[in-house]
Structure 1
Amino acid sequence: MRRLAGLLAVPLLLLSTAACGTEEKGSETAAMTNGLPAITAGAKFGEKPTLAKGEGDPPKELKVNVVTEGKGAVTKKGDALQVNYLGQAWDSTTPFDNSFDRGRPFDLTLGAGQVIKGWDQGLEGQKVGSRVEIGIPPELGYGAQGQGDIKPNATLVFVVDILKSTTIPKAASGTEVAQENKDLPKVGTNTDGKAPSLTVPKTDEPAKLVSNYVIEGKGEAVKSTDTLTVQYKGVLWKDGKEFDSSYARGGVPATFQLAGVIPGWSKGLEGKKVGSRVLLVVPPADGYGDQAQGPIPAKSTLVFTVDILAKQ
């Protein structure tokens, strides 16, 4: 069952980090660069790098080397970033993951807890167009549990190219749309960046997916292949109890690929305009079905308010 981006998410960089057996191996004897393994090939921004094996004791604190400084905007918490990266364990010569081979950059919201802490901290304050090398101690990475091919208590080294940074508006903006159906939830229309109210009526839930504008924006229509940055809140129809909210996580928006979330979101948001606030009522068939999901009981109808802030 696919998860809604951000919902009950463990703050990991990637949920699958399978190693690629065809990766090039870095030199074990190359000199270190400012305390981190040297880039032995592909050193230029945009090139797939090759990393040497770390020498000596790994850094005990986060360490960031700016390999190439870009000329773009400085990244800040809440920005939607698009990056390419390669990751390798300190004591290895084989990368465990990289986006260069996939041919698609990785999208994240900086400071949203969508990635390991070492990324959120290491990428903040860097300029777009920069290549940075980040050494991440276990407590800012995957810790004692490890992840996939990453061993427990591993120190990680990443080379990251910052391709793009988008400043995200704090809320939807546009034309308010009348909410006249008394049998549907009502959503607040505040645009101050705070969580809007979401009131569920004491009626039977609808059998089919509902996707209605609360505020209609003026941006481009969302496509199924888009990566979205949103603010959202979700409650249960049966009692109005909140089970998830990006507002509750410091107000930092969530970024996700529309094709990778529950069907109620992928179908309900496709075609809606960027800048809009949308009411989604998601029946079990378009949500989590017969399976419970954390605080969401099985066969639950879900209600969301979603501000579509940006798309990539």
Structure 2
Amino acid sequence: MRYITLLLLTIVISSCSTYSDQELSAFDEKIKAHLDSLNKKMEKTENGLYYAIKDTGHGSEFISYKDQVTFTYKGSFLNGNTFQVIGKEDPLVYKVKQLIVGWQDALMMIKEGGKIEIIIPPQLGYATQKTDIIPANSILKYELEVLKVE
């Protein structure tokens, strides 16, 4: 499972995809419709990441781009189907700069011990890359928890 995740992260970092304004708007409308259907409110960043901070975490320092983080997550699609769960018994450890843009942006909003729920449009995630578990152009939901920051 860790190797699949590492492969996915490597593909994303090396991939480059550009979307039209119309495509970006369509992704955003899908996310808004999803949130409306759940009667759920989330904040939105300028680049299109939707987020809800559940726990900012502790300490005085927010996570930075150069930090290494140990974290867990649950990943799912907008339809609610879970595609991957990384638990506390086997967390991931990565430098923030090695992760998909949506995760980078989200992690830098919290501190060690923080929890955040995010919805990542394709341009901030896996874009046009297709994997064994994630179709191309997927909008993804994650619940991230940071266990340790170094």
Is 1:218–2:55 an aligned residue pair?
A: no
Report the TM-score when normalising by structure 1: 0.34
Q: Is 1:8 aligned to residue 4 of structure 2?
A: yes
Query: Paired residue for 1:276?
Result: 114
CA RMSD of aligned residues (A): 3.3
- Following superposition, the deviation at residue 292 of structure 1 comes to 1.3
Aligned counterpart in structure 2 of residue 229 of structure 1, from 27, 49, 70: 70
Task: Give runs of ≥4 in structure 1 deviating > 4 Å.
Answer: none
Does the alignment pair 1:244 with 2:81?
A: no
Match of 2:20 in 1: none
| Equivalent position amino acid for 1:301 in 2 | I
Question: What is the CA deviation profile of residues 163-195 of structure 1, one whole-angstrom value per residue up to 9, with x for unaligned ones?
Answer: xxxxxxxxxxxxxxxxxxx9649xxxxxxxxxx
Indicate the percent of aligned positions where both proteins have the same amino acid. Answer: 25
Change (3 A) 1:210 1:7: farther
Structure of higher RCO (CA pairs closer than 8 Å, 6+ residues apart): 2
How far residue 6 of structure 1 moved from its aligned partner, in angstroms, is 3.9
Report the Cα offset of residue 212 of structure 1.
2.2
| TM-score, length-scaled by structure 2 | 0.68
| Distance (Å, rounded) in 2 between the aligned partners of 1:278 and 1:221 | 13
Shift of 1:202: 8.8
- Gap change, CA 1:202 and 1:235, over 3 Å in 2: farther
User: Where does structure 2 lack aligned partners over 5 or more consecutive residues?
Assistant: 11-32
For the pair shown, which has the larger CA radius of gyration, 1 or 2? 1
Question: Structure 1: 5+ residue runs without aligned partners?
Answer: 16-181, 186-199
**How many residue pairs were aligned?**
121
Report Cα offsets for 1:217-260 as digits up to 9, x if no partner: 223310000000011110011x211111112xx73211111100
Secondary structure of 2:102's match?
helix
